[in-house]
Amino acid sequence: MQFIDGMRDLSPGELGMLGMAGVAYIKPVLIEGAEAFAVHAADGTQMAVIPDRDIAFAVVRQHELEPLSVH
């Protein structure tokens, strides 16, 4: 019951971020005219740029995060 009571005290921003620590966003980017894929944390911090989409997804999963595409 304490968990539910604690949830009532979350701000809208905190509630929106609940569970986001396990997510990484992958979006296409251009680096010197070549397509690559940027990996971002839920807060928007860029963590990596990887030249291949499938590899970007694999790297994210290897770090026990759930990859999500951003278009």
SS3 state of residue 14: helix
pLDDT of residue 13: 66
Give the start-to-end residue ranges of the domains of the chain: 20-69
CA angle 44, 49, 33 (to 5 degrees): 115
pLDDT beyond 50 at 58: yes
pLDDT higher at 6 or 30: 30
Provide the percentage of residues in the chain whose pLDDT is more than 70.
75
pTM assigned to the model: 0.71
In eight-state DSSP terms, residue 69 is: E
41-53: pLDDT as tens digits: 888 889 999 999 9
The average confidence (pLDDT) of the chain is: 83
